[in-house]
Amino acid sequence: MDNVNVINSLLVAKSKSIAISEVKHQKQSEYQTLIKLIVTTDKQTRSVSGTLFGGKPRVVEVKGVEIDAELSNHNLYISNEDKPGFIRDLSKVLADNNINIATFHLGRKASGQEAIALISTDSAIDNTIVENIKKIPLVIQAKYLQFDDQ
């Protein structure tokens, strides 16, 4: 939404039935500032947390998995089983389609459990490539995320 800013954001959220809560505390924390978005539907609850580091926004948690990722214009979000071969198979699909990886960030709940990958690429990724990524045996979910320059 182009018309949302710091001044009217609370009113816009309220008009969309979005609950906002602000928590301030004096205890030590890893982050000076942290914003956490929790979305609950009738099927599931999902969360993502972000912070500012060096003045740049960073994703630091997705679905309870710690990660440290700076997003760019072109990104892949992948949840996968944490087992050998995932990175090899993903790299092959991207290389076969001439997609260059700019950054690759991984996080996992525990060894062998669910993992999250946030990957920035130098170019857009079309839906056919995303569908090929979804066919990789260890991939649970794959989405292409595109953000405009700010």
In a domain, 52, yes or no: yes
CATH of the domain at 68: 3.30.70.260
Q: What is the pLDDT of residue 150?
A: 47
The per-residue pLDDT for 74 is 95
Rg (CA), the chain: 17
Are residues 140 and 79 in contact, defined by beta-carbon separation less than 8 angstroms?
A: yes
Q: How confident is the model at residue 21 (pLDDT cuts 50, 70, 90)?
A: confident
Percentage, residues of the chain above pLDDT 70: 92
Which residue matches tokens 């290389």? Answer: 95
Does residue 2 lie within any of the structural domains?
no
In a domain, residue 4? The reply is no
Torsion of CA 81, 82, 88, 93, to 10 degrees: 30
pLDDT tens digit string along 71-94? 899 999 999 999 999 999 999 999
Query: Residue 103 sits in which domain range?
Result: 9-146
Residue 47 maps to a domain: yes
Question: Is residue 30 a part of any domain in this protein?
Answer: yes
Domain count, the chain: 1
Tell me the mean pLDDT in the region 109-117. Answer: 91
List, for residues 49-74, the tens digit of each pLDDT value.
998 888 788 899 999 899 999 889 99
For 22, residues 6+ apart whose C-beta sits below 8 A from its C-beta are: none
pLDDT band at 19 (very low <50, low <70, confident <90, very high): confident
